[in-house]
Amino acid sequence: MPKQTLVMKFGGTSVGSVDALVSVTRIIRDARKEWSRVVVVTSAMSGVTNLLLDSAILAAQGRVDALSNVESTLKEKHFSVAEALITDQDLRETTKQEISDLVLSLVDLCKAMAVLGEASPRAMDTVASLGERMSVRLLAAVVNDAGIKARAVPSTQFVVTNAHYQNAHPDFKATTEKTRALLNPLMDAGIVPITTGFIGATPEGAITTLGRGGSDYSAAIIGAVLPADDVWIWTDVDGVMTTDPRIEPKAQTLPEINYSEIAELAYYGAKVLHPKTIRPVLDAGIGLRICNTFNPSHPGTRLIASVKSNGKVDGKVIKAVTAIRRQRLVTIEGRGMLGVPGVAARAFGAVASTGTSVPLITQASSEQSICFAVPSELADSVVATLEKAFASEIADDDIDRVWATDDISIITVVGAGMRHTPGVSGRVFSQLGNNGVNVLAIAQGSSEVSISLVVAAVDTESAVKALHELIVN
């Protein structure tokens, strides 16, 4: 049976320059030869979304002096590609005009924010969406000019979400109906729909975003609702690496990885895939592959639903090591906590009220302390909130103190094979001990696919390199 439907998503660096877009066009052409139906999802050009959001934040503070600079930067970035790659003069001028209109709408929005003195989440989503809305017009024009029939279709027309601006949740039923109604006729007519990642719209048509890094999630949503046979995420690395190659040059590409492993890696700092991407694809039973736009012949990493019975691939128990930097450990300690119900519930309720996400929790078995990690920049406000929440217990000496460490890093070792292999933890801690790395705290996920441990910030690179040796050897 011939391959039917493929969804391909291209990240910001993949559409960030003339050379990158030449490569993307070639990849789309090659895919059209093998697949009868192709959908392309594009991110904003690299650096654009940050530029847009920074402009809005400054505008809300009344600072609009940099707007003319931003306007010329955005035009230059997109127009230089249009000039280089769109030979059809009418198409080129139309595309440039559409991009100009979007840049002008940014200027208008920023001036309105400056007058109001605030940037609402809804307004910020409209600003953030502009990068993708420029990129989709540019890419569709470039692909058309190269002789591949394509059409720009903003995802605001078919990805329906709630009104939770800046981190909206899709309505899968409404999205399924609209996506099929809009994209299927185009693909049936041999046209490649090129759509925007990261954005959707409420039923009333207000633009929303799916959270930063949401373009991967968009591709997974579209793949799941069509449904597609495969989703390919094109990025600027050869797939999922055994660790960050900037820390350990010996890092290798993993040929395959299972869903629980990639979920842990995405959560614990591997920037290859947005954590939300995995669920829609897994639920729909769709293949997922991560590939390199700048090295398209490389097979990349293939996601598989489950591993062989012992969980090992290529005989390797440990697959990858990640590091999340710039964290601090917050500790609530006191002998009076012993046997008092509800301390943890109150503590995490207080943390949640600050809008802080907790990536790791560890509790002493004596119940005399609770310890958890938070991002460094939020640690002081978390400690202050906890001191307020437990003011009476602190006054009565039931809680001795609430405090935060200096900067630490969370190192996570991932591998489904660990579940079936005795002694992995022992090897991990021996390896760190032999390399002079002190472990400050430990947590193991209930899935038994990962072990996370906390080390001082200065030990981050030594810990990653030491544990990576367990993979290579």
Query: Domain-by-domain residue ranges, the chain?
Result: 5-236, 320-472
More confident residue, 266 or 389: 389
DSSP letter (8 states) at residue 336: G
Q: What is the pLDDT of residue 36?
A: 94
With both helix axes pointing from N to C terminus, report the angle between 121-145 and 18-34 in degrees, rounded to the nearest 10: 70
Dihedrals phi, psi of 266, to nearest 5 degrees = -65, -40
Number of H helices, E strands in the chain: 14, 16
Residue with tokens 């939770």: 164
Query: pLDDT digit string (tens) for 431-444?
Result: 999 999 999 988 87
Lowest mean pLDDT among 131-145, 220-234, 338-352, 442-456: 442-456
Query: pLDDT digit string (tens) for 186-228?
Result: 999 999 999 999 999 999 999 999 987 789 999 999 999 999 9
- What's the CA angle centered on 261, arms 255 and 264, to 5 degrees? 135
**Inter-CA distances, 193 with 7, 21, 149, 294, Å:** 10, 16, 9, 22
Question: Considering the domain 5-236 in this protein, what is its CATH number?
Answer: 3.40.1160.10
Secondary structure (3-state) at 26 = helix
Q: b vs e for 174-209, b when ≥16 Cβ sit within 10 Å of the residue's Cβ?
A: ebbebbeeebeebbeeebbbbbbbbbbbbeeebbbb
Secondary structure (3-state) at 312 = coil
Query: pLDDT digit string (tens) for 440-466?
Result: 988 876 567 889 999 999 999 999 999
Give 117's pLDDT tier (boundaries 50, 70, 90): very high
More confident residue, 341 or 466: 466
Residue type, 133: R
Q: What is the pLDDT of residue 310?
A: 45
First to last CA, the chain: 41
Instruction: Check if the beta carbon of residue 306 is closer than 8 Å to that of residue 287.
Output: no
Dihedrals phi, psi of 413, to nearest 5 degrees = -105, 125
Six-digit token string for 471: 């993979």
Q: Is pLDDT at 275 greater than 50 in this prediction?
A: yes
Q: What is the pLDDT of residue 419?
A: 79
Mean per-residue pLDDT over the chain, rounded = 92
How would DSSP label each residue in 409-441?
Answer: EEEEEE-GGGGG-TTHHHHHHHHHHHTTPPP-E
Q: Do domains 5-236 and 320-472 have the same CATH topology?
A: no
Q: Is pLDDT at 268 greater than 90 in this prediction?
A: no
Mean pLDDT of 164-188: 97
Beta-bridge partners for 418: none
Query: pLDDT digit string (tens) for 351-401?
Result: 999 989 898 998 665 568 899 999 999 999 999 999 999 999 999 888 999
DSSP letter (8 states) at residue 367: S
Mean pLDDT of 81-103: 98
Secondary structure (3-state) at 179 = helix
Query: pLDDT digit string (tens) for 297-321?
Result: 999 999 887 655 444 545 578 999 9
Torsion of CA 194, 199, 201, 205, to 10 degrees: -70
Dihedrals phi, psi of 403, to nearest 5 degrees = -150, 165
Give residues with Cβ within 8 angstroms of 311, minimum separation 6.
317, 415, 416, 417, 418, 419, 420, 421
Cα separation of 436 and 439, whole Å?
10
More confident residue, 278 or 177: 177
Q: Give all strands (DSSP E) within 203-263, no chain letters.
A: 207-209, 230-235, 256-258
Instruction: Check if the beta carbon of residue 378 is closer than 8 Å to that of residue 404.
Output: no
With DSSP H G I counted as helix, E B as strand and the rest as coil, what are the percentages for the chain, rounded to 5?
A: 45, 20, 30
Q: What is the pLDDT of residue 8?
A: 98
Give residues with Cβ within 8 angstroms of 61, minimum separation 6.
117
Instruction: Check if the beta carbon of residue 321 is closer than 8 Å to that of residue 412.
Output: yes
Beta-bridge partners for 413: 321, 451
H or E element in which residue 350 lies: helix 343-353
Q: What is the pLDDT of residue 365?
A: 56
Q: Which of 229, 182, 186, 185 is nearest to 201 (CA)?
A: 182
Looking only at the bridges linking them, the beta strands covering 360-363 and 207-209 are unpaired
What sections of 35-66 are H helices per DSSP? Answer: 48-60
Q: Which of 83, 77, 81 is nearest to 21 (CA)?
A: 81
Give 422's pLDDT tier (boundaries 50, 70, 90): confident
H or E element in which residue 7 lies: strand 5-10
Judging by beta carbons within 10 Å of its beta carbon (0-12, 13-18, 19+), is residue 8 exposed, middle or buried? buried
Cα separation of 305 and 413, whole Å?
20
Q: Which of 105, 109, 132, 130 is nearest to 194 (CA)?
A: 132
Q: What is the pLDDT of residue 59?
A: 96
Cα separation of 328 and 463, whole Å?
17
Cα separation of 92 and 84, whole Å?
10
Class of domain 320-472: alpha beta
